[in-house]
Structure 1
Amino acid sequence: WQHLSEFDLQQEHIGKEIPPGPQRIRGIAGSGKTVLLCQKAAHMHLKHPDWDIALVFFSRSLYHQIIKQLDKWLRRFSSGEVGYEPKQTKLRTLHAWGAKSQPGLYSTICRAVGVKRLNVNDTQSKRPNEALAEVCIQLLKEATIPQLYHAILIDEGQDLIVDNHLKFEGKQPFYWLAYQALRAVSPSQPEQRRLIWAYDEAQSLESLNIPNASELFGEELGHLVTGYYSGGIRKSEIMHRCYRTPGPILTAAHGIGMGLLRRSGMLTGIIRAEDWQAIGYQVISNNQKVNPLRGEFSRSPMEFIPGQQITLKRPPENSPNLIPKLWKYPVLEFIAYRDRQSELTALAQNIIYNLRYDALKPSREILVIVLGSGFEAMQLETAVAEFLMSQGLDIYIPSALDCNILQPDKEERDPNRFWCEGGVTVSRIHRAKGNEAEMVYVVGLDNVAKDASNLQLRNQLFVALTRAKGWLKLSGIGAYPLYEEMWRVIRSGDSFTFTFRHPPQREIGVTDTSELLKRYDTGGRNFQNADLTGAQLAGADLRNANLIGAILRNADLRNAQLDGAKLVIADLTGADLSKASLHKAKLVGAILQEVQLKGADLSRAKLGNADLNNAQLVGAKLSGADLSSADLTGVDWSQADLSEVNLEGAIMPDGSF
């Protein structure tokens, strides 16, 4: 309980912070991202009632939930004096698109510039998220975007990402439109605008691109959410505790979603130990192998290497849901049936039992989720709903005007609606996203199992599993290799042991360090002013990187490749650069106090005016280096190669000039 209260305080702390620029909130499913954004928006509105604030999301089925949360936190923070008013123009809840009867961010900007709002049918794509990107690109090309808002907060940020071919000048179109619609926090720093986005890339159902700053705003602004603001507010937050979903279901969701126990190796996911730790897992390497590029796994949380056996364990304090402790039976079950009739018969019997004996309410406490893509999922949704009705159960299909309507009319519907009093909601995955229920039934695992290497289908399964607040029953028909994998995952409980075989199809990075390495690998070189305090970069290849003004205090850079890197006025206090290669690196004015540079190659490096107080340069190669006017007080450079070193104006180790 102490851990829980500490995290509540941490969450409230983040929720009340108003950053002086962009902020990214990366949180695992059920960690409270939506709650936190609503807290943030409410706090901003109460503290700055003159600000124009928009809280934005993609799925209209989230409207009621978000308005309810906003109202709750406004009343909480104002001692009951202020609630959410839908007609209030200063604090708006907007879905991304906008419709005739309900403004969205895109339609609001269209109205402000006098441009006709387009809809999905006006685009080539016809898929809502890709179509949105198309209309945003058109608007960005046609109009100068007015700065309408002081802050824009985006929930479920992964839903608004598109693939590379739909980008606008290397940027994500919707995010760039939102960024352009924001006022700069200060005229002297026009790039600092309050765009705050929350996401979980494990829940991406369309594009698999990850919403980091360089992906959203282009490489030149890729540093925007690295490190801290001057007041101590983090530019990126990671939420690692899951409140909603019981531990055994969450770990199973990660295990099956990433394919950790797949016979031929993981499909997608995290390959650095520090990133697993950042989302709440403990990492044990069962055979200590050395990666010559990334350093020694046993010494620091580095990248997994092929052939390495890994154990991941999720401690109970990071999944504080109490149901598994109070319930003596498994909270997660998977059954494979011979045919669909058998699967649906069992589903109906289970729901009837829930209603009669478990005292669960049909609406909001029971949810049926149908897996699959496109027409296949629509067919199964209808079949499930039809069968449940034939067994005397009332059902609800999202967006219908009432219960027991199998196919909601396009003209007569309520796109914001997900629940209907007295009816069990039967939903495909896109509508179910962001919603939750005590008892969740996930039907049609065979639709995923037929194409088990499809990452979007794996992500569907992850999203479906993490809707559960208490119990989950998963089912499918036939026999597939994925079923064996699912049973292995369930048997593993709160820990997985697997052999890392090869890099996954899609690598997920969570920490600033991982993001930096990924950006570098894809050609990014601008990491100016990045805050990488304590970063685990042993063996990293960062040749010719721009790290001017970067903060690398206490960073682990052993064996790092930094030839030609620009580290001018960078702060490397206490960093370990043993055996690092810094040939021709530019370290003019850098702070290198108490740095470990044993055996490092600093040949022809520029170190003029650098502060090397008490640095360890034993056995370092300094041939041809420029140390003019450097402070070398207390430096130990025994056995170092000092041939052709420029020491003009330098303060020597003994204090002499």
Structure 2
Amino acid sequence: MITTIRGTTRKPVASQRLADFFATRQDLTGTLYLGYPVVGTPEGAYPIDAIWINDAKGIILFNLIEGRDLGDYVEWQDDSANKLEAKLRNHRSLMKGRNLLISVTPVTFAPLALAHELAIEGPILANESNLAVCIDSIPDDEQAYEEAVAVIQSISTIRKGIKKRVITTENSRGARLKQLEDSIANLDNLQGRAVIETVNGIQRIRGLAGSGKTIILALKAAYLHAQHPEWKIAVTFHTRALKGQFRRLINTFFIEQTNEEPDWKQLQILNSWGAPGSAERNGIYYSYCQQAGTQYFDLTGAREQFAQGSEFQGVCERALAESTTPLDPLYDAILVDEAQDFSPAFLKICYELLNKNKRLVYAYDELQNLGSSSLPPPEEIFGNAADGTPLVSFSKPIPGQPQQDIVLEKCYRNSAPVLATAHALGFGIYRNIPEKMTTGLIQMFDQSELWLDVGYKVINGKLEDGQNVKLGRTPESSPKFLEEHSEIEDLIQFHAFGSVEEQNEWVAHSIKYNLDSEDLNPNDIIVINPDPISTKNAVGPIRKQLFNAGVQTHLAGVDTSPDVFFDDTGASVAFTGIYRAKGNEAGMVYIINAQHCYTSWGSLARVRNQLFTAITRSKAWVRVLGVGPNMEKLVEEFAQVKAQKFELNFRYPTTEERKNLNIVNRDKDEKIIREGEKRINHLIKDMQAGRVFLEDLPSDQVEMLRALLAKKAD
């Protein structure tokens, strides 16, 4: 059976008839791309109407003709085949000597062509009546199918590291990481579909950490820009440190597709908030205020008007409420990453800034939500039309049509043991059952079927309320090569230390050893402190030890621009709080002070999501480190994950139990109260000194504290 992936095309009728033909050929396999790829030439981007890639026939290159005028289709066949072959020849994996390892056969498909014009030999001209004969006449031969798919999807360059690796020792960490990056050569069909297919309307992409959401959005933006250079496209996100990554990904992909730089005036990478000034300071919310003529609030003004932690939600809701006239559309398409961290009001603003086609793509992962709320369904986000019907409602997938709601089940970053550990701790699967509670679970998906959607299978039991169930990752959703490069004991480790000094010394020594003896580059390493408030002080002693050892480091967003995460030179190890770590990844991840993620007097779900997000930044190895009794309990919880062979074994909560999963009872222990007092004092001092910024604060905890203080005052 053939997988059909539909890109944007200016030949919709011929494209549909070609897709319909292949739908009838159940005996054929491979992938049919419509409106894809775009080939870079000295004259610029050269879009190809359609290709079919098959492991026996190679690449069949289609020129689609909508009407009766056939034009000089022979010249087109020569021109397009030469251009595509030139692209393929740039990739060593597709060459043996001077010969391509995959054949390219051009075919002109003209549904309205007359019978006497058709030809199955020489320059092939076909319609539905003779296309089957034409395809069957192409000789079968062994083809470099997988390699060709990787090149056509232009993913191999994107997925590799930024800096070329120098390997001095066989099977070192650096050597294994290079092999791992090289193995991730192409997207699976579902991810490829998410990149290329675009609907006229809303498209939602959901997936686990490491499933490729950020890369998909970057490639999608570049592809749409190549196909429609006249479109005005915006890419936006919550974490400012993603801006540099998006620019690099889009630039790399666009050059590989077109041999040109993107037109950054047409394709804009924008912060979500924005401010007046240069184009670099522009943002979605600021643009909306300009278009709608509503009052714009900067951060200082927003703090005076809205609750702490809800400033951005407040300004977006105010802008929507004050806008009374229809807007002139600013964009043909908007792509939103990290949508779980935005309020519905921000997505509604994006919707209002679009033209009538409303091409809005938003991607998210609920478990990477570092607040306490989650996105409602699209019917609720975008509201109703005048007749009361929802403006946006996702229909069930229709075979052969672009999907509106895509769930990515395959994880291309985290191995199964790492991802299962992150889920087990994030959900509290093996947490000790607290007093007066029937389950140790902290949170749960709203629908049990979502466990299957994100790549788990039921090993035994039932995925039903009140029933015991055991879930495990599948080889399809967590490819085995992601874990086979190292022993499981090396993939993920938890360590409890007797003091912060012991922890810091261990981390500094380990990083020095990674760099000196294991062929890792500085930008292969991230050190994450889950608590954003204390990060600057917490990482200082480790950075000092590394400085004395000759290792350069930086605190992301403080020593660098807020829009930059990794040092541009690749010569510096990144230290960060959890909020800036989101959307980034590295081969080796060190998580320090993880004891703060065991429990919380503010929000247990939030701190567990911080731990989940930190663990899932790792492409290969992760070290979870902490101090004291709470870290020892976290180590015990991880030991249960290992004992269960990294499977999730639990009783599925009932409806009544699920109502209480996010309720955290404040522990009356005096020690916890004293620790809370110290942290509040520390926060106040840091805010007064300007060492803590609004975007680094956990908004739900601040709002909860504000509400509690107000209640106490009453």
TM above 0.5, yes or no, is yes
Say which SS state the counterpart of residue 268 (structure 1) adopts.
Answer: coil
Q: Structure 1 CA distance, aligned partners of 2:517 and 2:185?
A: 34
CA contact (8 A) 2:599 2:607 kept: no
Identify which range, 331-340 or 38-47, moves more after superposition: 38-47
Q: Of 272, 285, 289, which aligns to 1:110? A: 289
Say which SS state the counterpart of residue 557 (structure 2) adopts.
Answer: coil
Q: Structure 1 CA distance, aligned partners of 2:410 and 2:233?
A: 28
1:20 lines up with 2:200 in the alignment: yes
Q: Structure 1 CA distance, aligned partners of 2:247 and 2:255?
A: 12
Deviations along 1:299-325, one digit per CA (max 9) or x if unpaired, are: xxxx6222x211001023312262521
Give runs of aligned pairs for residues 346-365 of structure 1, distance below 5 A: 346-362=506-522, 364-365=523-524
- Residues 1:501 and 1:10: Cα distance change in structure 2 (over 3 Å): closer
CA contact (8 A) 2:532 2:578 kept: no
Q: Of 556, 561, 586, which aligns to 1:398? A: 556
1:174 lines up with 2:372 in the alignment: no
Deviation at 1:487, TM superposition (A): 2.4
CA contact (8 A) 1:206 1:456 kept: yes
Deviation at 1:491, TM superposition (A): 3.8
Deviation at 1:488, TM superposition (A): 1.5
Deviations along 1:17-41, one digit per CA (max 9) or x if unpaired, are: 1202101000110111111112222
Matched to 1:156, the amino acid is E
Q: Structure 1 CA distance, aligned partners of 2:410 and 2:235?
A: 23
Identify which range, 136-145 or 378-387, moves more after superposition: 378-387
Counterpart for residue 201 of structure 1: 366
1:440 lines up with 2:599 in the alignment: no
Q: Of 116, 133, 150, which aligns to 2:332? A: 150
Counterpart for residue 498 of structure 1: 650
Counterpart for residue 372 of structure 1: 531
Matched to 1:253, the amino acid is A
Deviations along 1:599-651, one digit per CA (max 9) or x if unpaired, are: xxxxxxxxxxxxxxxxxxxxxxxxxxxxxxxxxxxxxxxxxxxxxxxxxxxxx
1:280 lines up with 2:432 in the alignment: no
1:251 lines up with 2:409 in the alignment: no
Counterpart for residue 563 of structure 2: 416
Number of equivalences: 458
Deviation at 1:240, TM superposition (A): 0.7
Q: Structure 2 CA distance, aligned partners of 1:424 and 1:131?
A: 32
Deviations along 1:146-204, one digit per CA (max 9) or x if unpaired, are: 3211211101111213xxxxxxxxxx21111111111112xxxxxxx211100000100
Q: Structure 1 runs of 4+ off > 6 angstroms?
A: 1-6, 125-129
Deviation at 1:373, TM superposition (A): 4.8
Identify which range, 127-136 or 63-72, moves more after superposition: 127-136
Matched to 1:451, the amino acid is S
Counterpart for residue 212 of structure 1: 377
Counterpart for residue 475 of structure 2: 316
Counterpart for residue 274 of structure 2: 98
Q: Structure 2 CA distance, aligned partners of 1:47 and 1:371?
A: 41
Matched to 2:300, the amino acid is N
Q: Structure 1 CA distance, aligned partners of 2:240 and 2:184?
A: 31
Q: Structure 1 CA distance, aligned partners of 2:518 and 2:503?
A: 21
- Residues 1:126 and 1:370: Cα distance change in structure 2 (over 3 Å): farther
Matched to 1:333, the amino acid is Q
Tell me the TM-score normalized by structure 2. Answer: 0.60
Say which SS state the counterpart of residue 254 (structure 1) adopts.
Answer: helix
Deviation at 1:243, TM superposition (A): 0.5
Q: Structure 1 CA distance, aligned partners of 2:399 and 2:482?
A: 42
Q: Structure 1 CA distance, aligned partners of 2:359 and 2:308?
A: 26
Matched to 2:195, the amino acid is G
Deviation at 1:472, TM superposition (A): 0.6
Give runs of aligned pairs for residues 164-563 of structure 1, distance below 5 A: 172-185=344-357, 193-218=358-383, 221=390, 224-228=393-397, 232-264=401-433, 265=439, 266-270=441-445, 272-286=447-461, 297=462, 304-306=464-466, 308-320=467-479, 322-328=481-487, 329-362=489-522, 364-374=523-533, 376-401=534-559, 414-420=561-567, 421=569, 422-451=571-600, 454-480=604-630, 481-502=633-654, 503-504=657-658
CA contact (8 A) 1:366 1:438 kept: yes
Matched to 1:149, the amino acid is Y
CA contact (8 A) 1:381 1:426 kept: yes
Deviation at 1:84, TM superposition (A): 2.2
Counterpart for residue 120 of structure 1: 299
Give runs of aligned pairs for residues 574-585 of structure 1, distance below 5 A: none
- Residues 1:396 and 1:121: Cα distance change in structure 2 (over 3 Å): same
Q: Structure 1 CA distance, aligned partners of 2:626 and 2:330?
A: 49
CA contact (8 A) 1:442 1:465 kept: yes
Matched to 2:484, the amino acid is K
Q: What is the CA RMSD across the aligned residues, in angstroms?
A: 2.8
Q: Structure 1 CA distance, aligned partners of 2:311 and 2:202?
A: 26
Matched to 1:419, the amino acid is F
Matched to 2:271, the amino acid is H
CA contact (8 A) 1:146 1:180 kept: no
- Residues 1:361 and 1:321: Cα distance change in structure 2 (over 3 Å): farther
Counterpart for residue 160 of structure 1: 342
Q: Structure 2 CA distance, aligned partners of 1:505 and 1:426?
A: 37
- Residues 1:122 and 1:386: Cα distance change in structure 2 (over 3 Å): farther
Q: Structure 2 CA distance, aligned partners of 1:238 and 1:470?
A: 24
Q: Structure 2 CA distance, aligned partners of 1:239 and 1:215?
A: 23
Q: Structure 1 CA distance, aligned partners of 2:228 and 2:470?
A: 48
- Residues 1:72 and 1:127: Cα distance change in structure 2 (over 3 Å): farther
Q: Structure 2 CA distance, aligned partners of 1:83 and 1:128?
A: 41
Q: Structure 2 CA distance, aligned partners of 1:227 and 1:199?
A: 20
CA contact (8 A) 2:203 2:361 kept: yes
- Residues 1:230 and 1:251: Cα distance change in structure 2 (over 3 Å): closer
Say which SS state the counterpart of residue 151 (structure 1) adopts.
Answer: strand
Say which SS state the counterpart of residue 317 (structure 1) adopts.
Answer: coil
Matched to 1:504, the amino acid is R
Say which SS state the counterpart of residue 380 (structure 1) adopts.
Answer: helix
Matched to 1:361, the amino acid is N
Tell me the TM-score normalized by structure 1. Answer: 0.65
Say which SS state the counterpart of residue 10 (structure 1) adopts.
Answer: helix
Counterpart for residue 252 of structure 2: 72
Matched to 1:248, the amino acid is P
Q: Structure 1 CA distance, aligned partners of 2:447 and 2:313?
A: 32
- Residues 1:201 and 1:489: Cα distance change in structure 2 (over 3 Å): same
Higher relative contact order (CA 8 A, sep 6+): 2
1:38 lines up with 2:192 in the alignment: no
Q: Structure 2 CA distance, aligned partners of 1:128 and 1:77?
A: 45
Q: Structure 1 CA distance, aligned partners of 2:660 and 2:455?
A: 20
Counterpart for residue 84 of structure 1: 262
Deviation at 1:418, TM superposition (A): 1.3
Matched to 2:587, the amino acid is E
- Residues 1:464 and 1:96: Cα distance change in structure 2 (over 3 Å): same
- Residues 1:414 and 1:21: Cα distance change in structure 2 (over 3 Å): same
CA contact (8 A) 2:231 2:332 kept: yes
CA contact (8 A) 2:530 2:578 kept: yes
Say which SS state the counterpart of residue 59 (structure 1) adopts.
Answer: coil
